[in-house]
Structure formats: C-alpha cells, structure tokens
Amino acid sequence: MSAWLIQQSQALRLVLSRFRHNLLSTAFISLAIAVSLALPVIVYLILDSFSGVTTTLKSESNINIFLEPNIDNTVRDSIHNILASHTTIESFTFVPKEKALEQLAQTTANQNILAGLDHNPLPDAFFIQLSTLDSQSISALTEQLRTIDGVAEVQIDNAWLKRLNYLLTIGKKAMFVLVILLGFAVFAVIGNTIRMQILTQQEEIEVSQLIGATKSFIRRPFLYAGAAYGMIGGLFALLISSGVILLFNQSISALASEYQTKFSLHLPDFNVFLTTCLIAMIIGLLSAYLAVSKSLFKSIN
C-alpha cells in the first residue's frame, strides 16, 4: 500500500471510530442535516412528478387546422390524405364550415349575432389528436402542416399546458432558493460540529503538532468527518423524503382516481440519490475545510 493510501485509511478509520464512540451525537447531527436536505428533495420530487404529468398530457393536446375559405374539394381531400398517412397523428375529424356554423347557432346568444351576418365567416377545419409525446416532433408536424396548400392556420391547443409549465418554473425557482438557503444551513451545522470537535481534540492536535504531525495529517480526519456527516445526512434525507412521499401517495392516488387518472409522486431514484449525497458531501467537505483552516492553526505556528 502506498503512503498516501495508508494516510487516507488511517484518517478514515479514526473518523469511523470517533463516530462509533459518539453514536448518539453523530445521529443527531446527521438528522439535523437530513431534515435540511429532505425539504428540497421532497420539493424536487413533487416538481418532477408534475413535469411527468405534462409530458403524458401532451399526448392529449390537439392541433387544429383551419383551411382557407372557398377552397375546392380536391384540395380538401389531399389534405385529408396527408393527415391519414401521418404516423404521429392518432386520429382526426373534419368539421365543415356549415356544421361549425350550426354548432355555433345552437345557442341563442350567438343566433342574434349570426343573424346579422350575410355569409358564413367560419372556415373548414380538421381537429387532430396526436399520438406522440415528443414536443420536437409535434413542432415538426405543425411546421409541416403550415406548408400544405390550402391551410390557413395551425393552432396548437396547449394553453393550459403552458400555464402548468409556468407554475413548474416558479416551483423550480422556489426549489433553487430552498437548496441555496438550506445548503447554507447544512454548511453551518457541519462547520460548527467540526469546530466543536476541534475544541475537544485541542490537546491531541497540539501534541501531534509538537511531535511532527503535518497540517494535512491533522486536517484530514476533520475533512473526512465533514464529508461523512454530509453523506450520512444525505442518506437520512432520502429516507425521510421517501417516507413523506409514501405517506402522501396513498391519499394522492385516491384523489387522482376520483378524476379517473393515475397519478402518484415519484420516489427518489438513483440520480436523486447520487446528487443529494454528492452535494451534501461537497458541502460537508468545504465547511469542514473552512472550519479547520480558521480554528486549527491559530495557536501553534
């Protein structure tokens, strides 16, 4: 084993034995970190679950094509054929302008308005149901539809989807703010913990320096401790957020089934696991480094 590896394993074993000897305080500190981390994780999972909804519901979004007025039947039939052959189109219906006018005239309020018109102002229209979720192929399709002869206007009916997306964007910003603020909280908790540990080990540090310990030798266990607090806190945070989500999911699924849909919040997946633990570890490491540099080498030169 190289000297470097020996040093690392030495520091790691020291940290683990310190944790083992102070199991209760380690657990409490990790829990405090975990609570701070769990909040943004839960918010993320909620947002992630809802952006899942926006992609599934895109399939239910419609494209409406309005044709130019007074086109002849051959053009209309050729458009019909193009739509029929398109794979991204699930189904479509054709509504001729006469029928649209009839539908419009079914309400009395409209009847009065329509009575004042001398001709039918409505165009022929195709209402298209899409079979794809992919927004790129949807916009490709719209572009293509716009170029067809006889098509006056292509309308994508997804206004509510836009609203949901705006809400999600706001949610994401809120999460970002949470991550920053609670990241500072974790930073402070770990930093203070490390400072306390430095205080309790002041004698050992002093003696070690007197008999030839390098700064990095003294610093190393504290850095490991900071990273370990972060990691353990991250793991606890995932447990907490999973628990919270499971607790809510029953009621949420029940509510969703009342609307004839299936919806539940996602549990943390591997990416969430990795990101949470990594970020927590990095915060712990930085915080420990700062604490050690600030308070360790003040007294002894």
Partner 1 sequence: MIVLDNVTKRYPSSQEALSNASLTIEQGEMVYVTGHSGAGKSTLLKMIAAIERPTSGTVLINNQNVSKLRPSALPYIRRKFGLVFQDHKLLYDRNCYHNVALPLSINGITGEDAGKRIRAALDKVGLLNKEKAMPITLSGGEQQRLAIARAVVSRPAILIADEPTGNLDKNYADDILDLFNAFQQVGATVIIATHDALGAARKQHKIFHLDHGRLTQPEASA
Among 54, 209, 276, 287, binds partner 1 (CB under 8 A): 209
- C-alpha 266/C-alpha 249 separation (Å) is 9
Q: How far is the CB of 212 from partner 1 (least distance, A)?
A: 4
The piece of 6-14, 178-186, 257-265, 269-277 that touches partner 1 (CB under 8 A) is 6-14
Using a 10 angstrom Cβ sphere, with 0-12 exposed, 13-18 middle and 19 or more buried, the burial of residue 24 is exposed
Among 12, 27, 213, 256, binds partner 1 (CB under 8 A): 213
Among 88, 137, 208, 249, binds partner 1 (CB under 8 A): 208
Residue with smaller CB distance to partner 1, 134 or 206: 206
Q: How far is the CB of 220 from partner 1 (least distance, A)?
A: 12
Using a 10 angstrom Cβ sphere, with 0-12 exposed, 13-18 middle and 19 or more buried, the burial of residue 36 is buried
Among 10, 103, 111, 293, binds partner 1 (CB under 8 A): 10
Residue with smaller CB distance to partner 1, 116 or 212: 212
Q: How far is the CB of 8 from partner 1 (least distance, A)?
A: 11
What DSSP string runs through 174-218?
HHHHHHHHHHHHHHHHHHHHHHHHHHHTHHHHHHHHHTT--HHHH
The piece of 57-65, 76-84, 202-210, 262-270 that touches partner 1 (CB under 8 A) is 202-210
Using rule CB under 8 A, residue 207 touches partner 1:
yes
Q: How far is the CB of 4 from partner 1 (least distance, A)?
A: 10
Closest CA to 83 of 69, 64, 68: 64
User: Could you tell me the strand order of the sheet in which 125-130 lies?
Assistant: 89-95, 125-130, 62-67, 151-157
Using rule CB under 8 A, residue 299 touches partner 1:
no
- C-alpha 208/C-alpha 265 separation (Å) is 52
Q: How far is the CB of 252 from partner 1 (least distance, A)?
A: 51
89-95/151-157 β-pairing:
unpaired
Using rule CB under 8 A, residue 215 touches partner 1:
yes
Residue with smaller CB distance to partner 1, 6 or 113: 6
The piece of 47-55, 81-89, 213-221, 262-270 that touches partner 1 (CB under 8 A) is 213-221
Site for partner 1 in 128-147 (CB under 8 A): none
CA-based R_g, the chain, Å = 32
Q: What is the DSSP letter of 126?
A: E
Closest CA to 86 of 134, 157, 147, 137: 137
Tokens encoding 232: 């353990």
- C-alpha 175/C-alpha 160 separation (Å) is 22
**Which residues make up the interface to partner 1 (CB under 8 A)?**
3, 6-7, 10, 203-204, 206-215, 217, 301
